[in-house]
Every structure is written in structure tokens, then in C-alpha cells.
Amino acid sequence: MTVRPPTLRDKRRYLVVRVDPPGTPVDQKELYYAIADAITALYGDVAAAVMIQAVVAAEGDYVFIRCRRGTERELATALSTITSLRDTRIAVRIIAASGTLESLRERIRAIPLPSLPEGENPDVLFDKKVFTPVYGNGQKIDVIEKGFKNTHRYFLISEDLEST
């Protein structure tokens, strides 16, 4: 089977959403079913078939959702109606929409630390290495190891941090 040329492929859009409260474990399959139920309840089966929504990835408190171009607004509306995932009460907050996943990941990395006071050194000491925080929300913090080679991204919780 040959690959379709880009001009014949469906155009897709990606939405990044934050699941509140922070730290809530998100099962991608369960979230997919909750989104599908919300779309069907609001717009019906035909609109759900046109959207072709899918949960692409869940990274920490953020979830990446794919849909067909032109249906982002309807998907965002349906996402705002989700109030629970199984027995857990959640809220789904839309952060941004884009044509590529990489641009959404860059946008997440650019979110400033909400709890960091101005003028303080944001570096974090962990396992005798210095890290730069990228995002902190509640009990979790994402950090990138400082250095030129072999930089790694770590996802830490408050119990992992050393207090100085």
C-alpha cells in the first residue's frame, strides 16, 4: 500500500489540555471514552464521526488531543463539559491548539513557575546536580539538568527535592 501524498491527507489539529486538580492520574483510554461521550451528548454521533478525536498522549497534568481541522471549537466546547473521570471529579482546561505536537510542547515548556518569587535563584539541587525548573504546579515540578551535553528532563515531586 502506498503512502498518501500530503495534499490528500486529512488536516489535523492538536489541543493541549490541563487536567485539574493537579496530580490526578489520567488513564488515556478512560479519558478518550469520556471525551467521546461528551461529544456524542452535545453534538450527536454524526459530529463525533466527523471530528475523529483521539487522545494522543498524557504527560503529567497535560493531555494532547487530536481532531480534524475545523472542529477544534466544537471539541473544546465538549471538553469543557467533562466533570468526572470514573469516580474522580476533574475539570479539563484548554491551554492551546496548534497544527503540530512539538509547538504545543514548546508552549508548555514556556509556562512560567507560578510559585517562584521574583529575584530568587530558580535552580534546584537534586542528587548533587543542579537543575533548572521548567514548570511547577502544586506538588510536582519539571526540571532540566544544567549542562551542555546529555541534558535530561526529570519529573519530580516535592518529596524528591532537597531543602537548603
Residue-range domain boundaries for the chain: 11-109, 124-160
Q: Which fold has domain 11-109?
A: Alpha-Beta Plaits (3.30.70)
* Strand order, beta sheet including 12-20: 54-59, 62-68, 12-20, 91-98
Q: What pLDDT is attached to residue 124?
A: 63
Quote the crossing angle between the two packed helices 28-43 and 72-79, to the nearest 10°: 110
Q: What pLDDT is attached to residue 22?
A: 82
State the Cα angle at 63 between 57 and 65, rounded to 5°.
75
3-class secondary-structure state, position 98: strand
> Which amino acid, residue 137?
N
**Mean pLDDT for each 10-residue chunk of the chain (164 residues)?**
87 93 87 95 94 92 94 94 90 92 85 54 64 58 58 59 49
Q: What pLDDT is attached to residue 7?
A: 87
Q: Cite the DSSP H helix spans in 22-164.
A: 28-43, 45-51, 72-79, 101-109
Stated length of the chain: 164
Q: What pLDDT is attached to residue 35?
A: 95
Give the rounded distance of the alpha carbon of 111 from its chain centre: 12
Q: What pLDDT is attached to residue 108?
A: 83
Instruction: For residues 96 and 16, give the distance between their C-alpha atoms in angstroms, rounded to a whole number.
Output: 6
